[in-house]
Amino acid sequence: MKDGRTTAADVREGIRDGLLFMPLYLPMALSYAVTAKAAGWATWVIVLWSATIYAGSAQLACLSAMAAGAGLLELTLIACMANVRHGLVAMSATPYLEGISRRVLPVLCFTIATPSPGLLWAKTARGGDVRAYALASQLCQWGEWVLFTLLGAVLGGLVPPSWSRVVSFAGLAAFVGLIMPMAREEPRTGLAVMLGSGAVTLGLSAAGASQAAAIVGAAVGAAVPIVLGGRSRA
Protein backbone atom coordinates (compact mmCIF):
# COMPACT_ATOMS: atom_id res chain seq x y z
CA MET A 1 0.00 0.00 0.00
CA LYS A 2 1.40 3.37 -1.02
CA ASP A 3 1.30 6.24 1.45
CA GLY A 4 -0.24 9.58 0.53
CA ARG A 5 3.06 11.27 -0.15
CA THR A 6 4.29 8.53 -2.47
CA THR A 7 1.02 8.45 -4.42
CA ALA A 8 1.02 12.24 -4.71
CA ALA A 9 4.58 12.10 -6.05
CA ASP A 10 3.56 9.52 -8.64
CA VAL A 11 0.63 11.70 -9.69
CA ARG A 12 2.93 14.69 -10.10
CA GLU A 13 5.33 12.53 -12.10
CA GLY A 14 2.47 11.39 -14.34
CA ILE A 15 1.39 14.97 -14.99
CA ARG A 16 4.98 15.97 -15.71
CA ASP A 17 5.44 13.15 -18.22
CA GLY A 18 2.03 13.84 -19.77
CA LEU A 19 3.05 17.43 -20.43
CA LEU A 20 6.07 16.19 -22.38
CA PHE A 21 3.76 15.27 -25.25
CA MET A 22 2.53 18.78 -25.91
CA PRO A 23 4.70 18.95 -29.08
CA LEU A 24 2.78 15.90 -30.34
CA TYR A 25 -0.75 16.98 -29.49
CA LEU A 26 -0.43 20.66 -30.37
CA PRO A 27 0.13 20.36 -34.15
CA MET A 28 -2.32 17.47 -34.58
CA ALA A 29 -5.11 19.12 -32.56
CA LEU A 30 -4.59 22.43 -34.33
CA SER A 31 -4.66 20.69 -37.70
CA TYR A 32 -7.93 18.94 -36.89
CA ALA A 33 -9.56 22.04 -35.40
CA VAL A 34 -8.50 24.39 -38.18
CA THR A 35 -9.68 21.95 -40.84
CA ALA A 36 -13.01 21.43 -39.10
CA LYS A 37 -13.49 25.17 -38.69
CA ALA A 38 -12.81 25.69 -42.39
CA ALA A 39 -15.48 23.06 -43.12
CA GLY A 40 -18.03 25.17 -41.27
CA TRP A 41 -18.25 23.23 -38.01
CA ALA A 42 -19.31 25.01 -34.83
CA THR A 43 -16.64 25.39 -32.15
CA TRP A 44 -18.59 23.31 -29.62
CA VAL A 45 -18.92 20.42 -32.09
CA ILE A 46 -15.19 20.49 -32.85
CA VAL A 47 -14.29 20.39 -29.15
CA LEU A 48 -16.95 17.76 -28.36
CA TRP A 49 -15.41 15.44 -30.93
CA SER A 50 -12.02 15.69 -29.23
CA ALA A 51 -13.48 15.29 -25.75
CA THR A 52 -15.57 12.21 -26.56
CA ILE A 53 -13.68 10.51 -29.41
CA TYR A 54 -10.10 11.39 -28.40
CA ALA A 55 -8.47 9.85 -31.45
CA GLY A 56 -6.46 12.33 -33.48
CA SER A 57 -5.83 10.23 -36.57
CA ALA A 58 -9.44 8.97 -36.68
CA GLN A 59 -10.83 12.49 -36.26
CA LEU A 60 -8.70 13.82 -39.12
CA ALA A 61 -9.49 10.85 -41.35
CA CYS A 62 -13.24 11.04 -40.72
CA LEU A 63 -13.25 14.80 -41.21
CA SER A 64 -11.56 14.42 -44.60
CA ALA A 65 -13.95 11.64 -45.56
CA MET A 66 -17.00 13.69 -44.56
CA ALA A 67 -15.75 16.57 -46.67
CA ALA A 68 -15.56 14.14 -49.59
CA GLY A 69 -19.17 13.02 -49.03
CA ALA A 70 -18.60 9.72 -47.20
CA GLY A 71 -21.60 8.04 -45.58
CA LEU A 72 -22.04 6.41 -42.18
CA LEU A 73 -20.70 3.03 -43.30
CA GLU A 74 -17.58 4.54 -44.82
CA LEU A 75 -16.97 6.66 -41.72
CA THR A 76 -17.36 3.61 -39.48
CA LEU A 77 -14.82 1.63 -41.50
CA ILE A 78 -12.38 4.53 -41.56
CA ALA A 79 -12.66 5.03 -37.79
CA CYS A 80 -12.08 1.31 -37.16
CA MET A 81 -9.04 1.21 -39.44
CA ALA A 82 -7.58 4.38 -37.94
CA ASN A 83 -8.03 3.09 -34.38
CA VAL A 84 -7.00 -0.52 -34.85
CA ARG A 85 -3.63 0.30 -33.31
CA HIS A 86 -5.31 1.13 -30.01
CA GLY A 87 -6.11 -2.56 -29.54
CA LEU A 88 -2.39 -3.34 -29.70
CA VAL A 89 -1.61 -0.36 -27.48
CA ALA A 90 -4.08 -1.62 -24.86
CA MET A 91 -2.62 -5.11 -25.01
CA SER A 92 0.86 -3.68 -24.45
CA ALA A 93 -0.32 -1.65 -21.45
CA THR A 94 -2.42 -4.39 -19.80
CA PRO A 95 0.42 -6.11 -17.86
CA TYR A 96 1.15 -2.87 -16.01
CA LEU A 97 -2.45 -2.23 -14.93
CA GLU A 98 -3.41 -5.44 -13.14
CA GLY A 99 -5.73 -5.06 -10.17
CA ILE A 100 -7.29 -1.80 -11.37
CA SER A 101 -10.53 -0.83 -9.62
CA ARG A 102 -13.67 -1.14 -11.74
CA ARG A 103 -14.43 2.50 -11.00
CA VAL A 104 -11.08 3.62 -12.41
CA LEU A 105 -10.78 1.14 -15.27
CA PRO A 106 -13.24 2.91 -17.65
CA VAL A 107 -11.31 6.17 -17.25
CA LEU A 108 -7.98 4.47 -17.96
CA CYS A 109 -9.43 2.63 -20.95
CA PHE A 110 -10.95 5.78 -22.42
CA THR A 111 -7.81 7.89 -21.99
CA ILE A 112 -5.27 5.28 -23.10
CA ALA A 113 -3.08 6.68 -25.85
CA THR A 114 -0.23 5.60 -28.08
CA PRO A 115 2.44 6.78 -25.58
CA SER A 116 0.92 4.75 -22.71
CA PRO A 117 2.88 1.47 -23.07
CA GLY A 118 6.23 3.25 -23.24
CA LEU A 119 5.41 5.46 -20.26
CA LEU A 120 4.14 2.56 -18.15
CA TRP A 121 7.14 0.43 -19.10
CA ALA A 122 9.52 3.13 -17.91
CA LYS A 123 7.49 3.82 -14.74
CA THR A 124 7.49 0.13 -13.79
CA ALA A 125 11.27 0.09 -14.09
CA ARG A 126 11.55 3.17 -11.86
CA GLY A 127 9.07 1.89 -9.28
CA GLY A 128 6.13 3.54 -7.58
CA ASP A 129 2.35 3.52 -7.93
CA VAL A 130 1.94 2.72 -11.62
CA ARG A 131 -1.85 3.01 -11.54
CA ALA A 132 -1.85 6.51 -10.05
CA TYR A 133 0.87 7.49 -12.51
CA ALA A 134 -1.09 6.10 -15.47
CA LEU A 135 -4.28 7.89 -14.47
CA ALA A 136 -2.49 11.22 -14.05
CA SER A 137 -0.45 11.02 -17.26
CA GLN A 138 -3.35 9.89 -19.44
CA LEU A 139 -5.81 12.44 -18.08
CA CYS A 140 -3.16 15.09 -18.61
CA GLN A 141 -2.76 14.07 -22.25
CA TRP A 142 -6.52 14.03 -22.78
CA GLY A 143 -6.76 17.53 -21.31
CA GLU A 144 -4.00 18.74 -23.63
CA TRP A 145 -5.81 17.36 -26.67
CA VAL A 146 -9.11 19.02 -25.76
CA LEU A 147 -7.45 22.32 -24.83
CA PHE A 148 -5.41 22.50 -28.02
CA THR A 149 -8.52 21.64 -30.04
CA LEU A 150 -10.33 24.58 -28.46
CA LEU A 151 -7.34 26.79 -29.17
CA GLY A 152 -7.33 25.74 -32.82
CA ALA A 153 -11.07 26.27 -33.18
CA VAL A 154 -10.90 29.75 -31.68
CA LEU A 155 -7.74 30.92 -33.43
CA GLY A 156 -8.09 28.88 -36.62
CA GLY A 157 -8.61 31.92 -38.78
CA LEU A 158 -5.17 33.23 -37.85
CA VAL A 159 -3.33 30.13 -39.09
CA PRO A 160 -1.73 30.70 -42.53
CA PRO A 161 -2.39 28.15 -45.31
CA SER A 162 1.26 27.09 -45.30
CA TRP A 163 0.76 25.70 -41.76
CA SER A 164 -0.87 22.58 -43.19
CA ARG A 165 2.46 21.38 -44.56
CA VAL A 166 4.22 22.06 -41.28
CA VAL A 167 1.51 20.21 -39.35
CA SER A 168 1.67 17.27 -41.73
CA PHE A 169 5.40 16.86 -41.14
CA ALA A 170 5.26 17.57 -37.40
CA GLY A 171 2.47 15.08 -36.82
CA LEU A 172 4.46 12.25 -38.39
CA ALA A 173 7.77 13.26 -36.83
CA ALA A 174 6.24 13.51 -33.36
CA PHE A 175 5.47 9.78 -33.34
CA VAL A 176 9.19 9.13 -33.04
CA GLY A 177 9.12 10.56 -29.53
CA LEU A 178 6.49 8.07 -28.38
CA ILE A 179 8.94 5.20 -28.03
CA MET A 180 11.74 7.11 -26.28
CA PRO A 181 10.79 5.91 -22.75
CA MET A 182 10.94 2.31 -23.96
CA ALA A 183 14.18 2.88 -25.85
CA ARG A 184 15.79 4.34 -22.73
CA GLU A 185 14.73 1.52 -20.39
CA GLU A 186 14.94 -1.43 -22.85
CA PRO A 187 17.40 -0.56 -25.64
CA ARG A 188 16.97 -3.83 -27.58
CA THR A 189 13.20 -3.69 -27.65
CA GLY A 190 13.27 0.03 -28.35
CA LEU A 191 15.63 -0.51 -31.28
CA ALA A 192 13.37 -3.24 -32.66
CA VAL A 193 10.36 -0.94 -32.42
CA MET A 194 12.25 1.89 -34.14
CA LEU A 195 13.46 -0.31 -36.98
CA GLY A 196 10.12 -2.08 -37.49
CA SER A 197 7.84 0.95 -37.38
CA GLY A 198 10.38 3.10 -39.22
CA ALA A 199 10.73 0.64 -42.09
CA VAL A 200 6.97 0.27 -42.48
CA THR A 201 6.34 4.02 -42.28
CA LEU A 202 9.05 4.91 -44.78
CA GLY A 203 8.00 2.09 -47.09
CA LEU A 204 4.37 3.18 -47.16
CA SER A 205 5.36 6.82 -47.63
CA ALA A 206 7.61 5.91 -50.55
CA ALA A 207 4.76 3.86 -52.06
CA GLY A 208 2.46 6.87 -51.94
CA ALA A 209 0.36 5.80 -48.95
CA SER A 210 1.53 8.64 -46.72
CA GLN A 211 -1.86 9.04 -44.99
CA ALA A 212 -1.77 5.44 -43.77
CA ALA A 213 1.95 5.45 -42.97
CA ALA A 214 1.70 6.89 -39.44
CA ILE A 215 -1.27 4.70 -38.50
CA VAL A 216 0.21 1.42 -39.73
CA GLY A 217 3.68 2.33 -38.44
CA ALA A 218 2.27 2.99 -34.97
CA ALA A 219 0.39 -0.33 -35.06
CA VAL A 220 3.58 -2.20 -35.98
CA GLY A 221 5.48 -0.38 -33.23
CA ALA A 222 2.85 -1.42 -30.67
CA ALA A 223 2.89 -5.04 -31.88
CA VAL A 224 6.66 -5.54 -31.70
CA PRO A 225 6.92 -5.55 -27.86
CA ILE A 226 4.04 -8.06 -27.69
CA VAL A 227 5.79 -10.41 -30.13
CA LEU A 228 9.16 -10.07 -28.43
CA GLY A 229 7.61 -10.51 -24.99
CA GLY A 230 5.86 -13.70 -26.07
CA ARG A 231 9.08 -15.17 -27.46
CA SER A 232 11.04 -14.33 -24.31
CA ARG A 233 8.48 -16.18 -22.14
CA ALA A 234 8.38 -19.20 -24.46
Closest residue by Cα to residue 181 from 190, 173, 172: 190
Quote the pLDDT of residue 116: 83
Q: What is the dihedral of CA 156, 158, 163, 164, to 10 degrees?
A: 30
Residue 20 has phi, psi (to 5 degrees) of -65, -20
What are the start-end ranges of the H helices in 68-209? 72-93, 105-111, 116-126, 130-155, 163-174, 180-185, 187-206
In three-state secondary structure terms, 166 is helix
Closest residue by Cα to residue 53 from 38, 70, 68, 36: 36
Closest residue by Cα to residue 24 from 180, 191, 189, 228: 180
In eight-state DSSP terms, residue 99 is T
Neighbours of 8 (CB within 10 A): 14
* Cα–Cα distance measured from residue 60 to residue 186, given in angstroms and rounded to the nearest whole number: 33
The residues near 90 (Cβ < 8 Å, ≥ 6 apart) are 109, 112
Q: What is the pLDDT along the chain (234 residues), one digit of tens a residue?
A: 444 557 888 999 999 998 988 877 887 888 788 878 877 888 999 999 999 888 877 787 777 777 767 677 777 776 776 676 677 777 777 777 777 777 888 888 888 887 888 788 888 888 888 888 988 999 999 999 999 999 988 886 666 656 555 555 554 555 555 555 556 666 777 778 778 877 887 888 788 776 666 667 767 776 776 676 655 544
* Cα–Cα distance measured from residue 184 to residue 77, given in angstroms and rounded to the nearest whole number: 36
The residues near 105 (Cβ < 8 Å, ≥ 6 apart) are none
Closest residue by Cα to residue 225 from 88, 99, 58: 88
Quote the pLDDT of residue 169: 53
Quote the pLDDT of residue 1: 43
For residue 217, the number of C-alpha atoms closer than 13 Å in the C-beta half-sphere is: 26
